[in-house]
């Protein structure tokens, strides 16, 4: 039996534009998905999800998730969660050359589904790592990130970048541009998250930006402008000493760039009234900058504020269901328990 956890993330800069090869800087945060994989002596997969923002469900199936029995959970949420878990199992079977391996899988997650905090990437990364370890074939981190990307890519019909899965695998702050993925040493930034309790449909939102880009040249220019913002932010980060707290000036400059990034994402049609309301509440409370994080449409914003003012203000903002300070997660995928058995 093997248990692995992997972190969620916030985007300091660059979501959506990263789908078109522009750079992005996501940062892993201490909100984790934890997956336990135990080998079975048949080829079935049994999935128990204690908390995926669902009421909890248990499913057992053989072959693919398409053959699973009906369960009492809203179908779109179940499809989304099961799709990612199934893709992770397929990647693990392929990596370990064990096409008939069966697993009992348990998923627990502190990361709300579809809210821009990288829940699916964390489940896929932790799932592949746990399942390959249970098979006695642990993967090197880069291969884990690569397989997790392939799993997301497949479930999201080719509309995924490497950013979420690379960040969740490696932890810390990372830079992703196309296939070029690197880790960054950054000072610890004072992230505050606001969550509207909702979720966006990543596939639809990514497709919407694609259509806009095809239809209007302003949208292609906007995607490029986001890339420019990311490059500016990245050079501020790499010039800073990672060992000391960030200067007020650095936080302020990064915040300005986050504000511009949010405006550009709004122009691409991926913000929402609740996200804009939380962004403005954070700015008015004194945050140095605030933007939506992830695919948008609903879910979370991220703000930079060294003080408690943004959290306090968001707590009283209509439409904000939860707010918390998000610590940078230095560790990516992390083995929590490994009894190292290849035998069922
Ligand atoms: C979703 O968390 C981030 C997007 O840029 C899609 C992707 O990078 O795969 C919208």
- Write the pLDDT tens digit of every residue in 261-309: 999 999 999 999 999 999 999 999 999 999 999 999 999 999 999 999 9
Q: Which residues line ligand 1 (CB under 6 A)?
A: 15-16, 18-19, 160-161, 163-164, 202, 206, 294-295
Q: Give the confidence band of 203 by pLDDT, cuts at 50, 70, 90.
A: confident
Q: What's the full length of the chain, in residues?
A: 344
Give Cβ neighbours of residue 31 (< 8 Å, ≥ 6 apart).
Answer: 7, 8, 110, 111, 117, 326
- Write the pLDDT tens digit of every residue in 204-215: 999 999 999 999
Check residues 73 and 294 and name the one with the higher pLDDT.
Answer: 294
- Write the pLDDT tens digit of every residue in 16-48: 999 999 999 999 999 999 999 999 999 999 888
With a pLDDT cut of 70, the percent of the chain lying above it is: 90
Q: What does the alpha-carbon distance between residue 123 and residue 33 come to, in Å, rounded to a whole number?
A: 6
User: Ligand 1, closest atom to CA 293?
Assistant: 2
Q: Model's pTM, two decimal places?
A: 0.92
User: Ligand 1, closest atom to CA 9?
Assistant: 2
Instruction: Check pLDDT > 90 for residue 50.
Output: no
**Measured at the alpha carbon of residue 336, what is the angle toward residues 50 and 151, in degrees to the nearest 5?**
65
Residue 125 near residue 333, CB atoms below 8 Å:
yes
E strands present in the chain = 2-13, 25-39, 44-51, 57-62, 103-109, 173-177, 180-184, 191-195, 289-292, 300-304, 322-326, 334-338
Tokens representing residue 226 in the block:
């986001």
Cross-strand bridge partners of residue 34: 5, 108
pLDDT at position 49 is 76
DSSP structure class, residue 185: -
For 94, other C-beta atoms within 10 Å of its C-beta total 14
Instruction: Check pLDDT > 70 for residue 344.
Output: no
Active site residue 164: yes
pLDDT at position 83 is 87
Q: What does the alpha-carbon distance between residue 206 and residue 16 come to, in Å, rounded to a whole number?
A: 7
Tokens representing residue 236 in the block:
């501020």
Residue 39 near residue 130, CB atoms below 8 Å:
no
Give the chain's mean pLDDT: 91
Residue 172 near residue 329, CB atoms below 8 Å:
yes
The full set of domain ranges for the chain reads 2-183, 191-326
CATH topology for 2-183 is Ribosomal Protein S5; domain 2 (3.30.230)
Q: Quote the ligand 1 centre to 212 CA distance (angstroms).
A: 16
- Write the pLDDT tens digit of every residue in 87-133: 999 999 999 999 999 999 998 888 887 789 998 899 999 999 999 99
Which residue's alpha carbon is at the smallest distance from atom 9 of ligand 1?
Answer: 160
Instruction: Check pLDDT > 90 for residue 339.
Output: no
For 192, other C-beta atoms within 10 Å of its C-beta total 26
**Which has the closest alpha carbon to 17: 215, 231, 201?**
231
pLDDT at position 132 is 98
Architecture label for domain 191-326: 2-Layer Sandwich (3.30)
> What is the mean predicted confidence (pLDDT) over 219-246?
97
Helix (H) or strand (E) holding 298: none
pLDDT at position 315 is 97
Q: What does the alpha-carbon distance between residue 120 and residue 92 come to, in Å, rounded to a whole number?
A: 16
Q: What does the alpha-carbon distance between residue 281 and residue 310 come to, in Å, rounded to a whole number?
A: 8
Instruction: Check pLDDT > 90 for residue 73.
Output: no
């Amino acid at each position: 039996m093997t248990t692995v956890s992997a972190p969620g993330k916030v985007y300091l800069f660059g979501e959506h534009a990263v789908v078109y090869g522009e750079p992005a800087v996501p940062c892993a945060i201490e909100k984790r998905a934890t997956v336990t994989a135990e080998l079975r002596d048949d080829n079935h997969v049994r999935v128990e999800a204690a908390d995926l923002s669902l009421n909890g469900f248990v499913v057992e199936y053989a072959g693919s998730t398409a053959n699973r029995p009906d369960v009492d959970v809203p179908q779109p949420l179940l499809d989304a969660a099961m799709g990612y878990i199934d893709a992770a199992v397929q990647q693990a079977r392929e990596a370990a050359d064990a096409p008939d391996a069966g697993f009992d899988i348990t998923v627990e997650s502190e990361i709300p589904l579809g809210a821009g905090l990288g829940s699916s990437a964390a489940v896929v990364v932790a799932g592949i790592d746990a399942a390959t370890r249970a098979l006695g074939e642990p993967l090197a981190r880069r291969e884990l990130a690569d397989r997790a990307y392939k799993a997301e890519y497949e479930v999201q019909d080719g509309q995924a970048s490497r950013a979420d899965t690379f960040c969740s695998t490696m932890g810390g702050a990372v830079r992703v541009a196309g296939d070029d993925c690197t880790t960054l040493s950054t000072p610890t930034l004072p992230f505050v998250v606001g969550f509207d309790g909702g979720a966006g449909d990543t596939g639809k939102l990514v497709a919407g930006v694609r259509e806009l880009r095809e239809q209007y040249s302003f949208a292609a220019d906007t995607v490029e402008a986001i890339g420019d913002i990311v490059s500016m932010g990245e050079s501020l980060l790499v010039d800073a000493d990672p060992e000391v707290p960030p200067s007020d000036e650095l936080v302020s400059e990064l915040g300005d760039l986050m504000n511009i990034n949010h405006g550009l994402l709004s122009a691409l049609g991926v913000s929402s009234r609740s996200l804009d309301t939380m962004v403005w509440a954070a700015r008015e409370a004194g945050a140095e900058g605030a933007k939506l994080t992830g695919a948008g449409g609903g879910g979370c914003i991220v703000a930079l504020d060294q003080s408690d003012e943004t959290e306090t203000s968001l707590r009283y903002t209509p439409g904000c269901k939860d707010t918390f300070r998000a610590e940078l997660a230095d560790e990516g995928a992390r083995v929590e328990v490994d009894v190292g058995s290849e035998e069922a």
